[in-house]
Amino acid sequence: MRRLLVILSLVCVCLPSLLAQDYRYEFGPALGISGYLGDVNNSNMYKHPGIVGGGTFRYIANSRWAVKGDLLYAGLKGDSNDMQSKFPFDERYTFKSNLIDLGAQLEFNFFHFGSGPRYKKYKRISPYITLGVGATMAFCDGNTGFAMNLPMGVGVKYKLKDRLNLGFEFTMRKCFGDNIDGLSDLYGVTHSFAKNTDWYSVAMFTVSYEFSKRCVKCHYVD
């Protein structure tokens, strides 16, 4: 009888650890809105919002760190009439462009994100910060522009179930190029590589599913 009680006690202690599996990857869709700051908009970036859609992929290093790759398709719009400052002779500039964004970002969770035994102090919700590098290809009025970009932002993750996550992320993307809006060096005012005027933002919701169990015996991650 005593032996049976010991076995049952061990099972009760170990069962949560056995049920909580660690996974190395997660993948899912993303949907949101985009905003623009540039030659024909220097104030409200969401005056003419666009739609963003795509997918995200994460490598989960541990409960604090992750590396994310994303592939997004977004629309951008701008109108110089929205600006307080006007162009000479009250000229008006408008544009519509579509862009493809491919990037990689490093994420840091403020809490140990996940689910599992209490002693690991996992949280089902965690804010995070992100920074990375990317590339943007824009299509505007029959012209194609390319620029590297620097995404930086914040987000929050919530674990709906052990392998299903919901997230929201806001990033600003600094473009090292002045042609994603089809406008460059208006009136001969040139910009250096580091001081161009094109930025865009992405605010998106994501749903992701974790897969590929981590081999705990040969690569234990606490």
Tokens of 162: 């052990």
Mean predicted confidence (pLDDT) in 194-201: 76
6-41: pLDDT as tens digits: 444 544 444 444 444 689 999 999 999 999 988 777
Mean predicted confidence (pLDDT) in 190-215: 82
Confidence of residue 103 (pLDDT cuts 50, 70, 90): very high
**pTM of this prediction?**
0.81
Mean predicted confidence (pLDDT) in 209-214: 93
Q: Which CATH number fits domain 2-213: 3.40.50.300, 2.40.50.140, 2.102.10.10, 2.40.160.20?
A: 2.40.160.20
Residue-averaged pLDDT of the chain? 83
| Residue indicated by tokens 């992405």 | 202
Single-letter residue type at 94: T
Q: Where are the domains of the chain?
A: 2-213
Percent above pLDDT 70 for the chain: 77
Residue 124, pLDDT > 70, answer: yes
Residue 101, pLDDT > 70, answer: yes
* CA nearest neighbour of 213 among 78, 60, 83, 93: 60
* DSSP letter (8 states) at residue 113: B
pLDDT for the residue numbered 120: 77
Mean predicted confidence (pLDDT) in 166-181: 91
| Chain centre distance of CA 203 | 8
pLDDT for the residue numbered 19: 44
55-78: pLDDT as tens digits: 999 999 999 999 999 999 999 988
- Give the whole-angstrom CA distance, residue 94 versus residue 63: 45
